[in-house]
Structure 1
Amino acid sequence: MRPLDPRLLRYATATRGTLAAGAALTFAQTALVIAFSWLVTQLVVRAIAGEPLTALTPLVAGLAVVVAARGAVVWAVDAVAARGGAAVVGQLRERLMAAVGRLGPAWLRQRSSTDVALVAGRGLDALDGYFGKYLPQLVATAVAMPVLVLVIGSQDLTSGIIVVLTLPLIPVFMMLVGWATQAAQQRQWEALAGLSRGFLDVVGGLSTLKLFGRQHRQEARIRAISDDYRVRTMKVLRMSFLSGFVLELAASLSVALVAVTIGLRLVGGSLDLSVGLFVLLLAPEAFLPLRNVGASYHAAAEGIEAAGRAFAVLEAADAAASDAGGRPVSVAATGLVFERVSVAYDDRVAVGPFSAEVRPGEVVTLTGPSGAGKSSLLAAVLGFASYAGRIGAGGREDPAGRLDAVAWAGQRPGLIAGSIAQNVALGAAEPDIALVRRSLCDAAAPELDHELVLGPAGAGLSGGQAQRVAVARALYRLRAGGCPVLLLDEPTSALDAEAEARLLASLRRVAEKGAAVLVVSHREAVAAAADRVMRVSGAEVIASPAGSNVERKDVAHV
């Protein structure tokens, strides 16, 4: 990431206000620095000349006012930087989460979710150092330094030339040290990501490790990763201290060069004391912003690295959105459409090319042997799997539009700790209890109390009950969100014949009200209740009307 990446202005609009306010405050701070130096110079020169204290009183009062005003402006600069940083971090985190949602689970499964969480959490939090320390100094370098150099040059041309010639030395050293620091910071971030992934893996598999008595072997692994992160962190700190020393040395030598020339000319009588003292007081202030930029760069390095990774995700989401285009599919207005869809895992085609249509008002069953690709097609619709071809749902084929149009329940219920009502109305700010009860009833689970509190992963329910709660969740979303498409993956695999018949009757009523219903199932009763059956079998998809003994080949082949 560059000192001020243009992408920061594009993705976090609060940056613009922060920069504008910071520039205005920095200009005021620079004016107060000049006023402070002038007042001190006048006090010293007039005191040496022997003026009485009464004559110096206005200067002393003015100096007190300037000091107080300068303190207030410094506080305002810090407050603006802190508030702006918090606003920018909030905007970036919100856009990052939205981008991950737009990219979908298929994009996320190709990456480590730990890395994404690290960027969104600790990484963006580290931008506080960027906005609180680095950015104000960068603004001061752009605003204060030119003004101070001009003032010094207008008072003493020789000192101005020296300052102009020596100032570039500091950016050169900053660039050299910055490249090395950036490389070290990237290695440190990778070590931190490895530590996070390793720890998460151990926690996730701890029960299995303990079962086989292998948990102690992971202690050495975690210790080794932690030591690697510690070593890399110390390298970054060592580089930070070294660069601070180099920058301070360069700035001190530059100021000393100005001071020596002023001293020699004062002794020779070619320079007035008031001019020399005024320039001498301003010279360190001219170098100060650049010195602070170099010193604060290391405090912001982690945030800069994380922001660069966040921008990569945001750009990937923008590219995906532009490729999708959000254009409506031409085959159906509100149903579910597959056009030559192929799903592949690790360059191995699992299913496809597949073409089919589920029209509004239909109940269609997708069946076939295990491993034929039925669930993969649903995963492609939901964004859990990458695919080639076109998929439309509710008239939209962009990932976000499809998700808005689909209500679904998978093979695993995916319940959470909480009441049944909270599980059925998952994601709703306030569950509609009447709709929860209706959804449970339509899912053939009227006996379940919506106030019953479940444990983790739905503990407290049988397999069949948990499955029906998951179906009720899909029906709740279908009605509350006005979704035109309902997808169910093996919704009756754990149900008895009576409960299955009641659920299938509910799906028929849902379809009659205009929804396109696609059910993946091996059960004969589900196929018999459907309007059409699509059978995925090795190299082809065969479709037939329900109850017909004559099968015909559909337009799709797998």
Structure 2
Amino acid sequence: MRPLDPRLLRYAAAARTMLAAGGALALLRTASIIAFAWLVTQVVVRAIAGDDIAAISGLLGALVLVILVRGLVIWLSDAAAARGGAAVIGQLRQALTGAIGRLGPSWLSTRSGTQVTLTIGRGLDALEGYFTAYVPQLILTAVATPLLVGMIFWSDPTSGIIVLITLPLIPIFMMLIGWATQAAQQKQWAALSTLSRGFLDVVDGLSTLKLFGRQHRQTARIRAVSDEYRVHTMKVLRMSFLSGFVLELAASLSVALVAVAIGLRLLNGQLDLSVGLFVLLLAPEAFLPLRNVGAAYHAATEGIEAAQGAFEILDADRASVPQAAPPAAQQDLTRASLTFDDVTIAYDGRPIVAGFSAEARAGALSVLSAPSGSGKSSLIGAALGFTPASGRIAVGAEHDDLVRRSLIAWSGQNPGLIAGTIAANVTLGAPAPDADLVAASLREAAAPELEPSTLLGPGGRGLSGGQAQRVAVARALYRMRAERCPVLILDEPTSALDDATEAALIVNLRRVAAEGRTVVVVSHRAPVVEAADHVIPLEVLTSVR
């Protein structure tokens, strides 16, 4: 990642405000540094000349005021960086969540879920050091260093030449050490990703491991990966400390050269004390921002590495959806059919569905029935715009992926429940949840016995498989009613239900279809197929991955 990646400004508007505020505060801070150096010089020179306290009291008062202003500006800079950084991280996390939703399960299946979670979670949190330490120092360097060097050169050209010659040594050392640190940080991040994936795999399979008495064998594996992460972390820390030492040494030697040159010329009478002292006070301040940038860089390397992964996701989303989807056309969508016209879906060059054409009519219960591996779920993913497909898929006349997705209420094979109440799972982030509609949706999903206020654990813990399935169906029904979606798609909604509950759900789905909506059920169960108004067959070409 470059010192300031332009993509940051593209994906987080708060970054622009943060940079503008940082630049203004850096300018005030530079002015206070120059004012401080000038006032200290005048006080010392006039005191040496024999002026009493009364004569220099005005200068002393101004000096105190400048010190207070400088402290206030530093505090404001830190506060602006903290608030701005939190805002930018929040916007990036929101953008990432939206991007992953738009890219869909098809894209996510080609990535490590743990890696994506790590990037959105700890990775973005690690950017706090980047925004609170590195970026403010980078802005201060860009503003203060040229102004201070220019002031030194204007006051004493000889000292200015020395600073101009020695100052580039610090960026050179920063680049050399930064390359080494970046390589070490990449290995550390890879080790952390491996540790996270391994630990998640063990947790997911812990019940199976305990069942066969093999849980203890994973201890050595986790310990080995943890030690690897520890080693890489210590390497990064060692480089950080060495970097600080090298940058401090380079800056100290550079300031020492300026001080020696000033001292010799003061002894020879070639330089006035006021000029020499003023330049000597400004010289360390000219080197300080650049030195601090190098030190802050190492504190932000983990966040910088994570930002690369975040920008890759956002770039992928930008490439797949170059512009916002057009609004749905002004038309009556209350009786909109779902049509597939010559649709072909392939994975890695292998066709799963080839030349599929069908129509799920409005006002009818359509059942997509075919053996396992025929591509039923792939077709549903294509209808939702998550699975790449050729051909044409449309709801009414709308065939744009994002618009079509907004017209479909859907429930998949995996209920995908979250920790919270049943009502929260049914409404799933709705801005204004409707309690009456939640209860009605649960009844319509053949789950009248479920209390909306019941609290569930992660993954819907606390419900049976059939209950979780019906909550997911209720969620699709709620969205259909709340968002007035003309199409309802349910993927294997009765696979975990008993016969009586399945029959009740089928009756309710036929009522929904009778309202004029397009209801599509993916199922191979005989009761569902027998209740269908229209059965959509699907030929098996090959087995899905």
Q: In structure 2, do the counterparts of structure 1 residues 314 and 261 end up closer, same or farther at CA, with 3 Å as the change threshold?
A: same
Q: 3-state SS of the aligned residue for 1:537?
A: coil
Question: What amino acid sits opposite 1:153 in the alignment?
Answer: F
Contact 2:421/2:454 (8 A) holds in 1: yes
Q: 3-state SS of the aligned residue for 2:51?
A: coil
Q: Greater CA deviation, 134-143 or 491-500?
A: 491-500
Q: Which residue of 2 aligns with 1:529?
A: 531
CA distance in 1, matches of 2:458, 2:163: 67
1:497 CA displacement: 5.8
1:127 CA displacement: 1.5
Question: What amino acid sits opposite 1:303 in the alignment?
Answer: G
Match of 1:406 among 405, 408, 429: 408
Q: In structure 2, do the counterparts of structure 1 residues 27 and 440 end up closer, same or farther at CA, with 3 Å as the change threshold?
A: closer
Contact 2:325/2:403 (8 A) holds in 1: no
Q: In structure 2, do the counterparts of structure 1 residues 529 and 208 end up closer, same or farther at CA, with 3 Å as the change threshold?
A: closer
Contact 2:373/2:540 (8 A) holds in 1: no
Q: Which residue of 2 aligns with 1:442?
A: 444
CA distance in 2, matches of 1:147, 1:188: 38
Question: What amino acid sits opposite 1:366 in the alignment?
Answer: L
1:457 CA displacement: 5.7
Q: In structure 2, do the counterparts of structure 1 residues 246 and 409 end up closer, same or farther at CA, with 3 Å as the change threshold?
A: same
TM-superposition CA deviations, 1:432-468 (whole Å, max 9, x none):
3432343344334445555566676666766555544
Q: 3-state SS of the aligned residue for 2:355?
A: strand
Q: In structure 2, do the counterparts of structure 1 residues 158 and 478 end up closer, same or farther at CA, with 3 Å as the change threshold?
A: same
Contact 2:395/2:404 (8 A) holds in 1: yes
TM-superposition CA deviations, 1:328-365 (whole Å, max 9, x none):
89xx9743232333334454433323222223223222
Q: Which residue of 2 aligns with 1:363?
A: 365
- Alignment RMSD: 2.7
TM-superposition CA deviations, 1:356-412 (whole Å, max 9, x none):
222322322211223222233223334564444443346544544333222223345
Q: Which residue of 2 aligns with 1:552?
A: none
Q: In structure 2, do the counterparts of structure 1 residues 139 and 451 end up closer, same or farther at CA, with 3 Å as the change threshold?
A: closer
Contact 2:325/2:402 (8 A) holds in 1: no
1:292 CA displacement: 0.8
1:196 CA displacement: 0.8
1:430 CA displacement: 5.9
Q: Which residue of 1 aligns with 2:123?
A: 123
Q: In structure 2, do the counterparts of structure 1 residues 45 and 423 end up closer, same or farther at CA, with 3 Å as the change threshold?
A: closer
Contact 2:513/2:519 (8 A) holds in 1: yes
CA distance in 2, matches of 1:467, 1:354: 28
Query: Does 2:238 align with 1:238?
Result: yes
Contact 1:420/1:449 (8 A) holds in 2: yes
CA distance in 2, matches of 1:417, 1:298: 37
1:93 CA displacement: 0.9
CA distance in 1, matches of 2:396, 2:83: 42
Q: 3-state SS of the aligned residue for 2:368?
A: strand
Query: Does 2:482 align with 1:480?
Result: yes
CA distance in 2, matches of 1:188, 1:242: 18
CA distance in 2, matches of 1:82, 1:459: 38
Q: 3-state SS of the aligned residue for 2:264?
A: helix
Q: Which residue of 2 aligns with 1:296?
A: 296
Q: In structure 2, do the counterparts of structure 1 residues 365 and 152 end up closer, same or farther at CA, with 3 Å as the change threshold?
A: same
Contact 2:22/2:77 (8 A) holds in 1: yes
Contact 1:106/1:383 (8 A) holds in 2: no
Contact 1:102/1:399 (8 A) holds in 2: no
Contact 1:507/1:517 (8 A) holds in 2: yes
Contact 2:244/2:294 (8 A) holds in 1: yes
CA distance in 2, matches of 1:460, 1:2: 48
CA distance in 2, matches of 1:42, 1:347: 79
Contact 2:385/2:402 (8 A) holds in 1: no
Q: In structure 2, do the counterparts of structure 1 residues 448 and 33 end up closer, same or farther at CA, with 3 Å as the change threshold?
A: closer
Q: Which residue of 2 aligns with 1:317?
A: 317
Q: How does 1:75-474 map to 2 (within 5 A)?
A: 75-322=75-322, 334-382=336-384, 385-393=387-395, 395-415=397-417, 420-428=422-430, 431-446=433-448, 450=452, 466-474=468-476
TM-superposition CA deviations, 1:13-32 (whole Å, max 9, x none):
11111111111111111111
Contact 1:366/1:536 (8 A) holds in 2: yes
CA distance in 2, matches of 1:35, 1:202: 61
1:420 CA displacement: 4.7
Question: What amino acid sits opposite 2:410 in the alignment?
Answer: W
Question: What amino acid sits opposite 2:434 in the alignment?
Answer: D
Contact 1:326/1:396 (8 A) holds in 2: no
Contact 2:352/2:541 (8 A) holds in 1: no
Q: In structure 2, do the counterparts of structure 1 residues 97 and 267 end up closer, same or farther at CA, with 3 Å as the change threshold?
A: same
TM-superposition CA deviations, 1:11-65 (whole Å, max 9, x none):
1111111111111111111111111111111122122222222212222222111
Q: In structure 2, do the counterparts of structure 1 residues 340 and 47 end up closer, same or farther at CA, with 3 Å as the change threshold?
A: same
Q: In structure 2, do the counterparts of structure 1 residues 411 and 64 end up closer, same or farther at CA, with 3 Å as the change threshold?
A: closer
TM-score, length-scaled by structure 2: 0.91
Q: Which residue of 2 aligns with 1:52?
A: 52
CA distance in 1, matches of 2:371, 2:273: 96
Contact 2:327/2:403 (8 A) holds in 1: no
Contact 2:360/2:366 (8 A) holds in 1: yes
Q: In structure 2, do the counterparts of structure 1 residues 207 and 328 end up closer, same or farther at CA, with 3 Å as the change threshold?
A: same
Q: In structure 2, do the counterparts of structure 1 residues 12 and 237 end up closer, same or farther at CA, with 3 Å as the change threshold?
A: same
Contact 2:374/2:541 (8 A) holds in 1: no
Q: 3-state SS of the aligned residue for 1:473?
A: helix
CA distance in 1, matches of 2:460, 2:150: 71
TM-score, length-scaled by structure 1: 0.89
CA distance in 2, matches of 1:190, 1:177: 20
CA distance in 2, matches of 1:128, 1:39: 36
Contact 2:119/2:310 (8 A) holds in 1: yes
Q: Which residue of 2 aligns with 1:512?
A: 514
Q: Which runs of 5+ in 1 are unaligned?
A: 541-558
Q: Which residue of 2 aligns with 1:11?
A: 11
Q: In structure 2, do the counterparts of structure 1 residues 499 and 159 end up closer, same or farther at CA, with 3 Å as the change threshold?
A: closer
1:473 CA displacement: 2.9
Q: In structure 2, do the counterparts of structure 1 residues 390 and 235 end up closer, same or farther at CA, with 3 Å as the change threshold?
A: farther
CA distance in 1, matches of 2:49, 2:242: 45
Q: 3-state SS of the aligned residue for 1:491?
A: coil
Aligned residues: 538
CA distance in 1, matches of 2:490, 2:424: 20
Q: Which runs of 5+ in 2 are unaligned?
A: none
Q: 3-state SS of the aligned residue for 2:111?
A: coil
Q: In structure 2, do the counterparts of structure 1 residues 223 and 262 end up closer, same or farther at CA, with 3 Å as the change threshold?
A: same
Q: Greater CA deviation, 393-402 or 240-249?
A: 393-402
Contact 1:417/1:457 (8 A) holds in 2: yes
Q: 3-state SS of the aligned residue for 2:124?
A: helix
CA distance in 1, matches of 2:12, 2:21: 16
Contact 2:465/2:496 (8 A) holds in 1: yes
CA distance in 1, matches of 2:75, 2:457: 50
Question: What amino acid sits opposite 1:54 in the alignment?
Answer: A
